[in-house]
Chain A
Amino acid sequence: MSTTQFDTADSKRRERLATIERSLKSRHARERRFRRLGLTAVVSGLVLVAILFASILMRGVPAFWQATLYLDVYFDPEVIQISERPVQAPGESDAEFRERELAWLGELGRVNWNVLIDEALKAELPGEIESRQTRDLRALVASAERHALRERVMHAPELVGQTLNVKMLASANVDVWLKGNIDRSLPDHRQQLSAQTREWADYLAAEGVIRNSFSTALFVNPDSRSSSASAGLAGAFMGSLFMMLIVIVLSVPLGVASAIYLEEFAPKNRLTDLIEININNLAAVPSIVFGLLGAAIFIGYLRLPLSAPLVGGLVLTLMTLPTIIIATRASLRSIPPSIRQAALGIGASRVQTVFHHVLPLALPGILTGSILGVAQALGETAPLLLIGMNAFVANVPSSPLDQATALPVQIYLWQGNELRNFFEARTSAAIIVLLALMLSLNAVAIWLRKKFETRW
């Protein structure tokens, strides 16, 4: 009898185990399914990012090199008919000297520099070139190069009478033609360049007079419309730099200070609750709204200049503040209260507790949050459009009050440029520069976090 009892108990036990086993199977299956789902999400995300980077790099990297002419330019005294460069005579007043200098600069300006380039080209090209072909000839070289020659002579008048090998940018259309960014089989009337110019371009490229050289113009020149080949990012870069400095100087101290006050000192009441909700909501406000605000307050009411990095910086500061406040508060909140109690228990005041203990420990988080906020501001376009920073600016700004654009705005402007097959690559190159800047900012954030975290 006891055996039967044992058997029943045993069969019950086996049944129970079987039930668990059955449920186990479906549980494992669910786990595997979830893991596969997660993995798929990660992989597809990575693939998309890889495609994005590959397409930008493939299009943008060639734009870092552009068709460049290496021409022996004879600085012909017959063409450059200028007097001696004036030197301030003893006893001469500054105003008098300035007048003479301006007159001299006027002489420089009246020189037909194109002739020098024409002659240099003719020396390289085969056959007689008639004067009616001058138009085709000049289409080879970026139009800004004649100004570059003037600059050279202005800084070194002794060049007159000498021959110098000068590096000149080929025109944007020549660059497009030689890189094959335009269909070579298109009929003449659909080509940007005349048949003659195209032939010469091919000839010069074959002769090694036109070479694909690293484009410093992209980095040192401001934007240009008249001479697309010389269009560069320097103006936008400086504009972005000024704005970043303003954002860092204003939003980081302001944001960190308000976060510390709200988190460590503010009494918990209706008012602080309201402030907290508002800050969280501000972080979610579309950035273009901040642009409207900036246009209304800084430009409309305070009469600050249009298109100025100062205004852009202020707008981006407003936009970045909530991000920095939220990141800083989260970081402060993660510091265990036992540290605060320890400091208070020894007799540190609340300010000392925060500045001696809590803040140093929260620093890596604060820095990371701030840099990510600044990086977000660096990539912002929409609010800048509303304060006039999408204007065409052909100068490199030298102060935050000068007119300027920003890197992302420059990308926006270039991608809308009519000279599509030249600026498509240029746009991707600008995107690469912006991405590189962002990645280095993020790298700094990671480095700072590691540096302060590994202290203990």
Chain B
Amino acid sequence: MTVSVSVPTATHKRTSQNERIKMSARGVKVFYGENEALHGIDLDIIENEVIAFIGPSGCGKSTFLRCLNRMNDTIANCRVEGNVTLDGEDIYAPSLDVVLLRAQVGIVFQKPNPFPKSIYENVAYGPRLHGLAKRRPELDDIVESSLRRAGLWDEVKDRLDQPGTGLSGGQQQRLCIARTIAVSPEVILMDEPCSALDPIATGKIEQLIDELSESYTIVMVTHNMQQAARVAHKTAFFHLGEVVEIGDTDDIFTNPREQRTHDYITGRFG
């Protein structure tokens, strides 16, 4: 079975309905040393949609996610082949500055990883780095609006000077999301953003993803199929380094076309 067959017609249909392709991957292979972890991924990410990657552990969904903003560059002996574009531009082109790419494609990690600095500094770091705010009031505005959008402002507005590491796990993760959206990226990658959180914090983050999808394109990896069903417009099922099936979330969960997808979502393996 070739992967291109499994790209559902639904995607093309919606594309023809004036939905722009934000990112696109063609024939993406990733090698760790001699070991081929991804065997040629073809996948399109539509602007302002939430796409979830599901699949059993070790199927390559996180690896693929990291290809989308070249975080794999930081891993020794990791090699990427194939073609990934952002707005039609090759992000692996030698002329592309990876810093610029990451300002456009932000990432939120599995474990909350705030800097051991104040809450304010955590959010202000990105804008300051990229020179997005000329003066302090401008920076204050960015920090406030980012924290508001991350739904954290009311909880932390009185203690912005306190360490970000002193917040609870869910708050820390929302702080990391605020930190990411502070540089106004176009795409946000989320690598199992809720796996270290309790159900209440998870609920808040899911709600946040829903709200953010109005202005951002969101790609998330999740182990939690209910979560994918709740928040994602599209879902891609990864297995053994391939995309088995991709389509509208409702279709994937109610009417999967592939046997393997069916087996996974019904809990036969995983």
Q: Which chain A residues have a beta carbon within 8 Å of chain B's beta carbons?
A: 268, 336, 338-349, 352, 356-357, 361, 455-456
Contact = CB atoms under 8 A, between A and B. Distances in A.
A348 B122 CA distance: 13
A93 B179 CA distance: 74
A353 to B, nearest CB: 9
25 contacts: A338-B111, A341-B109, A342-B113, A342-B176, A343-B115, A344-B71, A345-B106, A345-B107, A345-B108, A345-B109, A345-B180, A346-B126, A346-B129, A346-B180, A347-B99, A347-B100, A347-B102, A347-B103, A347-B130, A347-B183, A348-B129, A349-B99, A357-B115, A455-B116, A456-B166
Which residue of A340, A341, A352, A361 has the most chain B CB atoms within 10 A of its CB atom? A341
B89 to A, nearest CB: 17
B216 to A, nearest CB: 15
Given A341-B71, A342-B109, A455-B116, 5 more contacts: A336-B113, A342-B176, A352-B129, A357-B115, A456-B116
Nearest to A340: B74
Interface string B224-257: 0000000000000000000000000000000000
Contacts of A352: 129
Name the prevailing secondary structure of the A interface residues. helix
B116 A345 contact: no
Contacts of A345: 69, 71, 102, 106-109, 180
Contacts of B129: 346-348, 352
Contacts of A348: 99, 125, 129
B63 interface: no
B144 to A, nearest CB: 18
A344 B69 CA distance: 10
A338 to B, nearest CB: 4
Nearest to A357: B115
B255 to A, nearest CB: 36
Contacts of B179: 342, 346
A346 B188 CA distance: 11
B102 A456 contact: no
A251 to B, nearest CB: 28
B102 A344 contact: yes
Interface string B20-52: 000000000000000000000000000000000
B56 interface: no
Contact of B113 (A339, A349, A356, A361): A339
A367 to B, nearest CB: 17
B76 interface: yes
Interface of B: 69, 71, 74, 76, 99-103, 106-109, 111, 113-116, 125-126, 129-130, 163, 165-166, 176, 179-180, 183
Given A341-B71, A456-B165, A346 B116 contact: no
Contact of B74 (A344, A347, A356): A344
A268 B74 CA distance: 12
Contacts of B102: 344-347
A455 B107 CA distance: 27
Contacts of B165: 456
A348 B130 CA distance: 8
A456 B109 contact: no
A338 B116 contact: no
Contacts of A341: 71, 74, 109, 113
A342 B180 CA distance: 9
B74 A346 contact: no
A339 B71 CA distance: 13
A356 B125 contact: yes
A347 B96 CA distance: 13
Contacts of B163: 456
B178 to A, nearest CB: 11
A122 B80 CA distance: 98
Nearest to B99: A347
A346 B106 contact: yes
B261 to A, nearest CB: 30
B109 to A, nearest CB: 6
Contacts of B106: 345-347
A352 B125 CA distance: 11
Contacts of A340: 74
Given A345-B71, A345-B109, A345-B180, A268 B100 contact: no
A348 B113 CA distance: 15
- Which 4 A-B pairs rank lowest in CB-CB distance, beginning with the nearest? A338-B113, A347-B102, A347-B103, A345-B107
A236 to B, nearest CB: 44
Contacts of B103: 346-347
Nearest to B122: A342
Contacts of A456: 116, 163, 165-166
A169 B259 CA distance: 102
Contacts of A336: 113
B109 A346 contact: no
B109 A338 contact: yes
A361 B126 CA distance: 19
B71 A346 contact: no
A268 B99 CA distance: 23
B155 to A, nearest CB: 19
A130 to B, nearest CB: 83
Nearest to B125: A346
A346 B76 CA distance: 20
A97 to B, nearest CB: 63
B151 to A, nearest CB: 20
Nearest to B102: A347
A356 B116 CA distance: 11
A349 B101 CA distance: 11
B59 to A, nearest CB: 21
A268 B125 contact: no
A75 B215 CA distance: 96
A341 B102 CA distance: 11
